[in-house]
Structure 1
Amino acid sequence: MPEIAGYEGGPLVDGSRFLDTPLFWPCHLGASLRGEEAQANALGPDWDDAQELSATLASPGAWPVFTVPLHSGYVLHVVYRNWDGDHGVDYLLLHPDWPRAVTLAAVDGHFMGPGLSWAELEASAGLDATTGVTDPDARLLLLFPMLGDADVPQGAAPRLASALEALTVVEDPAGLARTLLVNQGLWSPARWRDAHGTRVCDGSHSYRNPLNGFALPAPQLAAAAEALNGR
């Protein structure tokens, strides 16, 4: 059973078995599939199967965990946090020297985020890894729900579409990629900037906005920037 330092919760289980299930990805990206048209484009005729899979992912008896190695020894744990009546997905940053993980984003009814910019998402997805989730496309889609970026580059949609085409069976990956980028996250897209060598944003629900009263302390803000973009 996986363990995450300082993370109290239910029965954590290795979620890697879901990575080769094409329907997992539209379920995982569901927060950005707002509206019937978006859901229909993502799920096609598989609506009932998607509902069943979503119920499995949200089971209180097993909390799937996906581990994404990052720069400088950091890892990001993607945890399906399945308290009975209160489930969501937590994105937890951890370093071997830390006594406990810190939350970068949470996708649920009381959402917190964004947790990263597009540049950080792409850099983290492309990082070579030999443990945890190693496939760049899987890493991109796993971390995508953390995204909140008002200035995504033109290359974002084709890169996202390529990952969707590789891992899903959606009929129009390019169209779905555009939809996801328009509806990114449960929060408003944020603007990112460098502040004293640390990447921060202006998101009103983000732990990475130093102006928020609940923001990460300065050392952890710097750590997040280092972990996600090698700074």
Structure 2
Amino acid sequence: MGAVTNGVGVQAGRTPGYGGRGAFGRFPELLDEPLFWLGHLCSWARGEVVEEMLFGADYEAAEEFHRGLSGRAEWPVFTVPVAAGRLHVVHRNAEGDVGTDYLLHHPDWDRAELLARDDGHFMGPGLSWPELTAAADNGLPGGSTVDADSRLLLLLPACGDTAVPAEAAGRLAAALRARTAVEEPERLAAALLEGQGPRGPVSWSVVGDGPRISDGRYSFRNPANPFALSADRLVRVAAALAP
């Protein structure tokens, strides 16, 4: 990811392939703040009913918290190690261009791969459900946290999958119960998985020895899209994220 700091902003070393211009900072303490998760997950709260389940009486407090977060000079970065490389979740605080970027990088690669962008012009999804849970549960050291619930919620907005298993709602509810203060985690988990963000769920497939790809209209991992990753980059991304 390049140079980052522990809460003291310095110009970060550039990550090849990522155009972020901010000073990156590590703020793992944010993961212990329930208000952080409300803003981080808000793009998955589709409709007033689901939004009310997520925010409850904390809407104004969450809004104030995230105004402060987006006003920081440093861009908070969270890292999750995967089978080959690391996923980086970057809270982009550029003036007039606030959002969250989901990147995959390996030291041997010539560039980081942007898997998803969660903002007013959402691009993705970038992760299938098996890839999401594999990253959350691998227990690998060297990231922002080894807590599987935090990892699951960090990466959730980059996920979209029509084939989530029956146990997914229980798994997500447990993470919401552990990391947030929402009143009905089971009901909220079911609603979030039904809607799955701004573009909804997509289908994933593997043909022969090829990489895992999606059919999402806005996904970088759908080879039919004109902006998709090239064939060799699709292969290395799928290999790095392999469940």
TM over 0.5: yes
Counterpart of 1:20 (choices 18, 32, 46) is: 32
Q: Secondary structure at the match of 2:212?
A: strand
Per-residue deviation, 1:198? 0.8
Q: 5+ unaligned residues in a row in structure 2: which ranges? A: 5-11
Q: Secondary structure at the match of 2:32?
A: coil
Q: Secondary structure at the match of 2:43?
A: helix
Alignment partners' CA distance in 1, 2:232 and 2:72: 34
Counterpart of 2:183 (choices 171, 175, 187) is: 171
Give the structure-2-normalised TM-score. 0.89
Deviations 1:56-109 (A, max 9, x none): 22225221110111112x101100111111111000110011232110000111
Which amino acid in 2 is paired with 1:229?
Answer: A
Per-residue deviation, 1:222? 1.4
Alignment partners' CA distance in 2, 1:172 and 1:91: 28
| C-alpha RMSD over aligned residues | 1.4
Which amino acid in 2 is paired with 1:19?
Answer: L
Deviations 1:24-76 (A, max 9, x none): 1121100011223222211222112100111122225221110111112x101
Alignment partners' CA distance in 2, 1:183 and 1:114: 13
Which amino acid in 2 is paired with 1:224?
Answer: V
Counterpart of 1:5 (choices 4, 12, 15) is: 15
Which amino acid in 1 is paired with 2:105?
Answer: L
Q: Retained in 1: the 8 A contact 2:46–2:198?
A: no
State the identity %: 48
What residue number does 1:99 align with?
110
Per-residue deviation, 1:15? 2.9
What residue number does 2:49 align with?
37
Greater alpha carbon shift after TM alignment, 8-17 vs 89-98 = 8-17
Which amino acid in 1 is paired with 2:41?
Answer: L
Which stretches of structure 1, 4 residues or more, deviate above 3 A after TM superposition? Answer: none
Deviations 1:129-155 (A, max 9, x none): 212121111110000001111121111
Aligned residue-pair number: 229
Residues 47-86 of structure 1: matches in 2 within 5 Å? Answer: 47-59=59-71, 61-72=73-84, 74-86=85-97
Which amino acid in 2 is paired with 1:194?
Answer: V
Q: 5+ unaligned residues in a row in structure 1: which ranges? A: none
Per-residue deviation, 1:188? 3.0
Which amino acid in 2 is paired with 1:23?
Answer: L
Alignment partners' CA distance in 1, 2:27 and 2:113: 20
Counterpart of 1:219 (choices 232, 237, 242) is: 232
Alignment partners' CA distance in 2, 1:153 and 1:65: 30
Per-residue deviation, 1:216? 0.7
